[in-house]
Amino acid sequence: MTPQEAIDTALSLSCWTAPIRAVPLDGGITNHNIRVTDQGRDFVVRLGQDIPEHGILRWHELSLSRAAAAAGLSPDVYHAEPGALVLDFIPSQALGEDDLHDPATLMAATDLITQLHRDMPKHLRGPILSFWVFHILRDYAATLHAQGSRHIPALPALLEQADMLERAVGPVQLVPGHNDLLPANILRTPDRMWLIDWEYGGFNSPLFDLGGLASNCALEHDAEEAMLTRYYGHIPDAPLWRSYEAMKCASLLRETMWSMVSEQSSTLDFDYCEYTDKNLDRFRSTLADFTSKDI
């Protein structure tokens, strides 16, 4: 779908009375995002079909979006129909990696994650999927083999590393997670923060959201300790550190293999090869640091 086709599709939705403007929004590497103005109100239209190779099912995204809105985490859902989700537009600024290096911003983001894990279960309805990263990694490997990916020679070592990390994570607590905590999925207004984009939401360990935020923002050790202390209410002990660091590595590997699959399956205008290489380097560096502590 071209940008103009996305605009035309957004304007054709049945929910509008008299739309006067539609403009593409930056961001989004699995869908098209269009800002539409109708009767003096602004909305965000997210256009995208199911993406089975990534476990993206739009009915599930809709359920989580509604629950997140009810929990006060996300914008309200205004309308939904096959292939389209319409949300209230919130004037805001998407966070960048450097923003999370500010201690106050990091603590506010940690509180938002805490609110998600604590309050979201009260508002979930119907079937809710799990998001177990190690299953996802094995499924990605099978998909890459089936696609004849350029990355096939690297897969045995990556899967062996994934098995090691799964053992290191150990038993987990299950919470509803966002599971895609790129900084751009956190919006900031003058008085609060919001979470957006629930394509990958589902039950998971809280460590995946915490580790994902840290790895996506390249947090330093002291910042990670402050984040974990804020979330758990105590300084992390050695077992928690090990489980957290293993999950952080797994988060980076998932982002890497997600991009490997997207190299061949996505039709969006995005340089997935460069994104793969960048995340693979980050994964290998983080994994080397993790395994060095076992020596």
The one-letter amino acid at 264: Q
Residue-level pLDDT at 264:
87
Q: Which helix (H) or strand (E) holds 227?
A: helix 221-232
Residue-level pLDDT at 117:
98
Count Cα neighbours of 289 within 13 Å in the Cβ-side half-sphere: 14
Residue-level pLDDT at 28:
67
Distance CA 110, CA 119 (A): 14
Residue 127 in tokens: 């079937």
The mean pLDDT values, 10 residues at a time, for the chain of 295 residues are 89 94 82 94 96 95 98 98 97 96 98 98 96 97 96 97 97 96 95 96 98 94 98 97 97 96 85 93 94 75
Give the domains, in start order, of the chain with CATH numbers.
3-88 (3.30.200.20), 93-292 (3.90.1200.10)
Task: Count Cβ atoms within 10 A of the Cβ of residue 262 and give its class: 0-12 exposed, 13-18 middle, 19 or more buried.
Answer: buried
Residue-level pLDDT at 269:
77
Residue-level pLDDT at 268:
77
Residue-level pLDDT at 294:
65
Count Cα neighbours of 141 within 13 Å in the Cβ-side half-sphere: 18
Distance CA 232, CA 235 (A): 8
